[in-house]
Structure 1
Amino acid sequence: MKLLSRYLLKELVIPLVVWVVFLFILLFVMQFLRGTDVILGSAVTLEDLGQLMFYLAPHFLMMALPIAFLLAILLGLGRLSEDREITALQALGIGPVQLLAGPMAIGAVLAALMLLLTSTAEPWGLTSVKEFVAEIIKKNVVGDVKSGVFYEDLSNLTLYAETVDDEEHRWTNVLLHDDREPSSALLMLARNGRVNTNTAGQVLTLELGDGEAHRADPSAASYAVVSFQQGDIAVGVEGSMGRRNRFRSPKEELTPSELLQAADEARRTGGDPRPFLMSLHNRLGHALAPLSFALLGTPLAIGRRQGGRAWGYLLTLGGYVLFYLLMRFFEQMGQQGKMPVVLAGQLANILFCVAGLVAMYRVSRSGTVR
């Protein structure tokens, strides 16, 4: 049995690792393409890309591990079935139930790993990504403002500098049009200016010197002009530049204890705690998905004869899409109070386990031949 266990582990672990790496790279490329306006800014370096990948790694692993595991089961054990090795094992008295031990053991390890990631590393990584991208956006503003070119990547702000000192990143003869309050737009003209990237958090500051601020109020038919020696314009990265920062997912940035605290606070203030509790149990259900995938994927893999890899790819895609849709549907039911949040978070896993038990019973009764 030890020889058989090592053989099955080899058939499952190697494709699992390969597919995790492939899906991880695919997810990063997809995120890269979504955030090219930030990631391909003038201030971004290869070191920044490596740091970004490091922060996103726990989140991508949470997405890649379940589907890679299901794919490894369907392709690995499916190959044994196609090559009649399962039939040979049955002739030696090794039934489908005994073959389930290997996938379930790997599924348990993956579930433990995912529980650890979703409780610690994933919230930390997503929070770090949010702060890191905000800093990149600040640095990009410094490098993207060019002499004689209107810069409009700041939402509702238009910036123009006649000349830009690329070494000291200072501007001369600056025009800034602030349209964040359409009813009373602000026009600022200054002899010099720069971006202060040392401000913490989701805010950058545009510092202007020796200039005038013009504001018109159409409702009062008034026009005001104010001279200044030093003027600071604060720009919120999350607000004014939020359209460029796509690396956001607030509830996933909270640890389980923080979600529970948020739910308790919502109860005390008369709010609805269900969204926070549903997020917690939904995260738990996703972390336990490898166990239900192992229980369902094993009989599906060993009970087939034809179809090859195409069959495995199709089942994997269909199975994961179905699991995701069920998770989303039950999540909405839980948030609306139509079912307990504990049940809503685990019902997709329960349904997959029931389907797996039925499939395992049929394979055990009829053998692997169809």
Structure 2
Amino acid sequence: MKLLARYLLKELIVPLVVWVAFLFLLLFVMQFLRGTEVLLGSAVTLVDIGRLILYLAPHFLVMALPIAFLLAILLGLGRLNEDRELTALQALGVSPTQLLAGPLAIGVFLGGLMLLLSFTGEPWGLTAVRDLVNDVIKKNVAGDVKSGVFYEDLSDLTLYAERVSGRGERWTHVLLHDDREPSSPLLVLAQTGRMSTSGGEEALRLVLRDGEVHRANRSTSDYSLLRFEEGEISVGLGGSMNRKNRFRSPKEEMTPGELLQVAEEAEKSGGDPRPFLMALHSRMGNAVAPLSFALLGTPLALGRRQSGRAWGYLLTLGGYVLFYLLSRAFENLGNQGKLPVLVAGQLANVIFIALGVFAMWRVSRSGTTR
């Protein structure tokens, strides 16, 4: 039995690693394409890309491991079925239930790994990604402002500098149009200016010297003029520039302790703690997903007909989509209070486990192949 267990593990682990690598690369490319305005900026380096991959790795692994595991089961055990090896094992007295031990062991391991990643690595990584992307946005602003060119990538702000020196952080003869308040826009003219990035996430500041501010009220004829020696205009990354930062996921950035703390504070202040509790139980539900996929995927692979590989892959992807839709639907019901958050977080797994037990019972009655 030890030899059989090692053989089955080999048949599962190799395709699992391949599928995880493929899905990881696919997820990164998709995320990269969503953030091209940031990640293809003039200030981005290979070190920044490497740090981004490192920070996003826990998040991508949590997303990729369940479906990669389900595909590995269909590919590994399905190959044994197609080559009639399972028929030979059945003739030697090996039952379909015994073949379930390998996938269940890997499912338990992957579930523990996902629980660890979602509780520790994923919040750390997504928080680091947010800080990294905000820093890159700031550096891109400094690098993309050119002499004699209007810079309009800041929402509702237009910046012009007749001359740019240094690394793009010092400007001469500056024009800034601020249309963040449409009813009373600002026109700022200054002899010199620079960009300051100190002070944290909300601290992209434009420091201007020796200039004047023109304010017009579009609803009236009022017009104001103010001269200044030094002034600052703050551009918050959480506001206009956050449209470029597509990597934020506030609840996913929280650890379990932080989610519980925020839920408790919301309850004390009369708010709704369910969204935070639901986020915690959703992570637990995702960690149980490999176990339910092992119970459902194994009988599907054992009972697959010959030459049904394409159908098997389609069934696998359809099963994962169904699991995702059910999870989201139950999560919404949990957020609305129509289901207890504990039930909402695990109900999709309960359904898949029940289907897996039924499918295994049918395969056990009819044999490994049909």
Same fold (TM over 0.5): yes
Higher deviation after alignment, 180-189 or 71-80 = 180-189
> How much does 1:287 deviate?
1.2
Deviations 1:69-125 (A, max 9, x none): 000000100000111111111111110100000000000000000000010010111
Letter in 2 for 1:184: S
Is 1:306 equivalent to 2:306 in the alignment?
yes
C-alpha distance in 1, partners of 2:71/2:312?
A: 7
Deviations 1:148-197 (A, max 9, x none): 11111111111111111154631111100111111111110011111112
C-alpha distance in 2, partners of 1:27/1:332?
A: 25
> How much does 1:220 deviate?
5.0
Structure 1: runs of 5+ lacking an equivalent: none
* 1:75 equivalent in structure 2: 75
Is 1:19 equivalent to 2:31 in the alignment?
no
Deviations 1:285-318 (A, max 9, x none): 0111000000000000011122343223212211
* 1:321 equivalent in structure 2: 321
Letter in 2 for 1:174: V
Whether contact under 8 Å (1:134, 1:201) holds in the other structure is: yes
The 3-state SS of whatever aligns with 1:241 is helix
> How much does 1:321 deviate?
0.4
Higher deviation after alignment, 90-99 or 213-222 = 213-222
* 2:268 equivalent in structure 1: 268
C-alpha distance in 1, partners of 2:17/2:230?
A: 57
Q: What is the 5 A alignment of 1:1-370? A: 1-167=1-167, 169-219=169-219, 221-370=221-370
Higher deviation after alignment, 160-169 or 1-10 = 160-169
Whether contact under 8 Å (1:131, 1:202) holds in the other structure is: no
Higher deviation after alignment, 74-83 or 158-167 = 158-167
Whether contact under 8 Å (1:79, 1:308) holds in the other structure is: no
> How much does 1:336 deviate?
1.1
The 3-state SS of whatever aligns with 1:233 is strand
Structure 2: runs of 5+ lacking an equivalent: none
- Sort the Cα spacing of 1:312 and 1:230 in 2 relative to 1 into closer, same or farther, 3 A: same
Whether contact under 8 Å (1:134, 1:202) holds in the other structure is: no
Letter in 2 for 1:63: M
Deviations 1:299-351 (A, max 9, x none): 00011122343223212211110000000010111111111111010000000
C-alpha distance in 2, partners of 1:71/1:262?
A: 37
> How much does 1:29 deviate?
0.4
Deviations 1:3-47 (A, max 9, x none): 101100100001101110111011000000000000000000000
C-alpha distance in 2, partners of 1:249/1:115?
A: 18
> How much does 1:232 deviate?
0.8
Structure 1-normalised TM-score?
Answer: 0.98
C-alpha distance in 2, partners of 1:139/1:91?
A: 67
Between the aligned residues of both structures, percent identity stands at 71
The 3-state SS of whatever aligns with 1:182 is coil
C-alpha distance in 1, partners of 2:57/2:138?
A: 23
RMSD (CA atoms): 1.1
Whether contact under 8 Å (1:199, 1:205) holds in the other structure is: no
- Sort the Cα spacing of 1:281 and 1:166 in 2 relative to 1 into closer, same or farther, 3 A: same
- Sort the Cα spacing of 1:354 and 1:167 in 2 relative to 1 into closer, same or farther, 3 A: closer
C-alpha distance in 1, partners of 2:200/2:70?
A: 43
Letter in 2 for 1:111: G
C-alpha distance in 2, partners of 1:202/1:346?
A: 38
The 3-state SS of whatever aligns with 1:238 is coil
C-alpha distance in 2, partners of 1:237/1:19?
A: 36
Q: Number of matched residues? A: 370
